[in-house]
Structure 1
């Protein structure tokens, strides 16, 4: 993805004051936001993604901490994806699911699944307690070229929703929520694998997975998708194949 400096120089950026870090206890964080009034099209958003920015609702941001570099942007080069034995089993286990792309929207069905997911899996996190307004502001508002991927069983029951942004060079996996009672399916893992496959099917190069934080247990899953590239000192670098996935 070619970065056009003139495009980026035309943008305004704003840094937040320090606030409690969402990933590491006892640390303070700062965030750099793109001016929410800016007109961001797919190409410009794609360039920002290449520089480590990510979207949450109507906000495009990246970490901006002066004393900490723990949040590292990661992406999977999809043409080279080499699933582990466990990932292959999960992919085969969910081969019966039907996946459909739909517009990002707030419906009773989506929200009911989201509410169950947050209440049972993330009651200790920033997303708790869930609300329809939170769902809309987080997953519907501010979409650029985005969609919900529905995962349904053969009976038509909604089991998972993966929220994705479509980029020039790939896709950005923003968030997935799923039926918390279907542990045997490992739906969160499958949603990532499916998006890797979908990115490859569309002829694009990378699936962006957001930020990996080594000392944050909830972020450890991202390092299990190989090969993996990390944005370090403004350069995308391939993670060593020998690096631990535990």
Structure 2
């Protein structure tokens, strides 16, 4: 059995849920231990935690079934016709995988994306230095994947954490002028394909709230499991 050193957890003050009016959210947070970072992350992502910078966190709500950590079961995933169309539409893109190092070119793609798609969120006013800190500060196995057209135009990027048995999609963004390509969907499909190639079991997609239309896209990737009362179970029929 694997043990970690004792960890200090703290709970944030309540704040409005960004996905539904009237709900309050707290976060259970712990700092990543640099000498046990990989092991700590491997264990805690299985308990529903996500990474942000050098911290691991898990949202807490009064309703335990309101916000679930979800992951795609890679070996059983099969593309739908609509997903196959997205895949084929983007087969001209070249994916390049890099160590997690921010570039100005990435930021010029990131900034209009968050302003246009998430202008009411707390990321919309992120400066270059904020973006650089988000990408560069990871103490775990983090990479950034860039997707480029044949003309070498950067049209999408995805920050990912590789964990034991899976990959976690930390944050993705794309050129909103290419919305017809379905780039957000394509990046998830690409990660599922890469996970299958690497013989990994899961692609972690963060959190899912059934009542949030912003999260409904996650229901397209089935079979999908949710962490319900501390146990991972198939929730495909509930989505």
- Partner SS state of residue 43, structure 1: helix
Runs of 4+ deviating beyond 3 Å: 36-40, 66-69
1:10-29 counterparts in 2 under 5 A?
A: 10-29=6-25
Contact 1:165 1:171 in 2 (8 A): yes
Distance 1:26 1:39 in 2: 40
- Partner SS state of residue 139, structure 1: helix
Partner of 1:87: 83
- Partner SS state of residue 68, structure 2: strand
Q: Does 2:160 align with 1:160?
A: no
Partner of 1:225: 221
Contact 1:148 1:162 in 2 (8 A): yes
Shift of 1:86: 0.7
Match of 2:135 among 132, 139, 148: 139
Q: Does 2:171 align with 1:191?
A: no
For residues 106-131 of structure 1, give each alpha carbon's deviation from its aligned partner in whole angstroms, at most 9, with x where no partner exists: 21101100012112221122211231
- Partner SS state of residue 172, structure 1: strand
CA RMSD of aligned residues (A): 1.7
For residues 106-161 of structure 1, give each alpha carbon's deviation from its aligned partner in whole angstroms, at most 9, with x where no partner exists: 21101100012112221122211231122123333234100001101111111100
Distance 1:24 1:219 in 2: 11
For residues 160-214 of structure 1, give each alpha carbon's deviation from its aligned partner in whole angstroms, at most 9, with x where no partner exists: 0011000011100111010010011110000000001111111111000000011
- Partner SS state of residue 102, structure 1: strand
Shift of 1:230: 0.7
Partner of 1:107: 103
Residue segments in structure 1 that go unaligned for 5+ positions in a row = none
Distance 2:143 2:196 in 1: 17
Alignment TM-score, normalising by the size of structure 1: 0.91
